[in-house]
Amino acid sequence: MGKILIADDSKAIRCMLINVLGGAGHEVTEAGDGLEAMDKAAQERFNLVISDVNMPNMDGFTLAKQLRQLEGYRFIPIIFLTTEDADEFKLKGREAGATAWITKPFSPKKLIEVVSKVTGLW
């Protein structure tokens, strides 16, 4: 199974992701915002990053752009998990380096399907 980094300022969302992904056997590391996620990504290599878009200190778009600059993260899948569903946000996400987009609220089944599709980890 994979090592997954999640970045979301909502503790409830992080807990839900840890339960779903951790319950499936993945090693999940959590961060409360993009800055914390960047710090953790610089220290350890992950197979997948799941990030909210709207977070304090560093948003998801900036996080994705900065991750893509790190040697080990150029091709790592990045999934945005967010309440934003407008096409302009999705375009901005693709430009920042996102691999996939999931709109909140989400079902665990949908999350697992998308993670499987972009990573082959399931």
Between CA 26 and CA 71 the distance in angstroms is 23
What confidence score (pLDDT) does residue 3 get? 95
Give the strands of the sheet with 100-103, arranged side by side.
27-31, 3-7, 48-51, 78-82, 100-103
Write down the pLDDT at residue 120.
Answer: 76
Domain span at 54: 3-116
Give the per-residue pLDDT at 87. 93
75 and 30 in contact (C-beta within 8 Å)?
Answer: no
Residue 106 sits in a domain whose CATH number is 3.40.50.2300
Please report the pLDDT score of residue 71 as a whole number.
87
Q: What is the spatial distance between Cα 100 and Cα 68, in angstroms, rounded to a whole number?
A: 15
Ranges under pLDDT 50 in the chain? none
Residue 24: inside a domain: yes
Q: Please report which residue ranges of the chain form alpha helices under DSSP H.
A: 11-17, 23, 34-43, 60-69, 87-96, 108-119
State how far the alpha carbon of 64 is from the alpha carbons of 19, 57, 75, 93, in Å: 24, 14, 11, 8
Judge whether 122 lies within some domain.
no
Q: Is the peptide bond before 108 cis (omega within 30 degrees of 0)?
A: no
pLDDT of residue 50: 98
The structural domain count of the chain equals 1
121 belongs to a structural domain: no
**Three-class DSSP category at 22:** helix
Number of CB atoms found within 10 A of residue 60's CB:
30
pLDDT of residue 1: 74
